[in-house]
Chain A
């Protein structure tokens, strides 16, 4: 797994970006998925929704608890991972790849600089 093009939040979301594109992919970390345990429902915003950084934009329901999904960045929702509706357990199995949540068209690319690199995130969660 290459984490160089990924940034992280203290709320355990990740953002993956590509050079030359303003559209980023968003998901939750392996740590978050592990803490939540078996995820049974994921509720995501509709395509076209304008979201703000740190705003609760969806919910993640696990067997033991329900957690808010916070948007790590500000922008407009371009795409959501529809397969999570039928198979939310993908988030547990593949949090960084197949278990992605949504793609957001960034309002401003500079906001990525405010997020953490993988090494800082690992320190945060005690790894």
Chain B
């Protein structure tokens, strides 16, 4: 695409040297190695890339537990406002009152939504939030002179939970789910003891099931002096209707890039604010924004804090988007979001349950886990079903997780999909079920319509090539 001499705009006359405060020895002498391209060339290039890729602006993205909801464009308008985007993080508190107010306001709103006493926004992702939660627990027990080392995680939790516990040196103990897909209380009572530091729960769990015994579960934990952590990645199911803090959770994280409509995945960056109850607030990572009268200032002196876990204040642009989303919807709007998210998931579960059985019941919250087990008799695996879905212009659901459902397909439509979109997806899933029986090879060799066909995942895992030469 690049051709020497090609350019977007030509200006009359010689370019003038821009005034600069950079000293002469550091000034660039040569032109930067940018490609020579025309404006239509660049536009077509990026449009083409956006077509090759799958994204939420293109079609349904039913990736379970990821809450791939539409990212409203008004969020981008607010994040691009020059008063925010032109700030430098080293500017003084007096210069950045508006930005500090945004951080403070979002923390307050998250406290109100989650029922926690304090939030720190700076964590950059959900798993980062879990790690911070575990560090807070460690510091809390160290201050109490207690040497607890166990963390309990149900087998229906997010896979990152045991990894985060392991990262801080805790040992993991898995709590199996009962037949109803909820925590088995008897096993919990047997496993929990005075060596247990934290109970990590994902609510609703990865099966899309709410722990109906949540009060009892947290009471058992608290009776043993155990801190309760909630993985709030699935908060979309509870938004405006139930608050983790009211259940009794001591620590939690929220994924702004899931529940609060900020960009997700490669397009992020993510943001996983951590919320705590009052007794733990002093351990939150800094810096913290404080409000004195009508003024805001940054407090970097927090002697009990676990420390800094991100440069400056985390991913500030994401806070603007999340605050825009929350403010725009208001309390009533947030309640409608969770209601519609749960309705959409149940609508799909109900329509697909006969062809893709749902081992843990047909009623779910924001997502459900179906099984492709019955197609194995045709030599078709869930992986093949997922690959075939790509041919119809969908992103595949999460597959093979949670491990407790064989040939798992974890489907989360989110509230932003219309009934027409869901109906079309149902029709496609029905067609794929038919194809599995009549023409299984079509599935085994899928995808057929995508820019690249079935990838060699073994070689990609064993011999990844992580760099590509720059093209001239």
Residues on A facing B (Cβ under 8 Å): 37-38, 40-41, 61, 63-65, 88-89
Contacts and interface: CB of A to CB of B under 8 A. Distances in A.
A38 B400 contact: no
Contacts of B462: 40-41, 88
18 contacts: A37-B381, A37-B383, A38-B457, A38-B458, A40-B458, A40-B461, A40-B462, A61-B461, A63-B457, A63-B458, A63-B461, A64-B383, A64-B399, A65-B400, A65-B401, A65-B403, A88-B462, A89-B458
Interface string B161-196: 000000000000000000000000000000000000
A61 B381 CA distance: 19
Nearest to A40: B461
Given A40-B461, A61-B461, 12 more contacts: A37-B381, A38-B458, A40-B462, A41-B462, A63-B457, A63-B458, A63-B461, A64-B383, A65-B401, A65-B403, A88-B462, A89-B458
Contacts of A63: 457-458, 461
Q: Please report whether the interface of chain A is mostly helix, strand, loop or mixed according to DSSP.
A: loop
Interface in B377-410: 381, 383, 399-401, 403
Nearest to B401: A65
A20 B282 CA distance: 64
A38 B462 CA distance: 11
A38 B461 CA distance: 10
Contacts of B399: 64
A4 to B, nearest CB: 30
Interface string B410-446: 0000000000000000000000000000000000000
Nearest to B399: A64
Closest 5 interchain pairs by CB? A40-B461, A64-B400, A63-B457, A38-B458, A40-B462
Contacts of B381: 37
Contacts of B383: 37, 64
A61 B458 CA distance: 11
Contacts of A41: 461-462
Nearest to A39: B458
Contacts of B458: 38, 40, 63, 89
Contacts of A40: 458, 461-462
A35 to B, nearest CB: 8
A88 B459 CA distance: 12
Interface in B119-177: none
A30 to B, nearest CB: 15
A97 to B, nearest CB: 21
Contacts of B401: 65
Contacts of A37: 381, 383
Contacts of A38: 457-458
B139 to A, nearest CB: 29
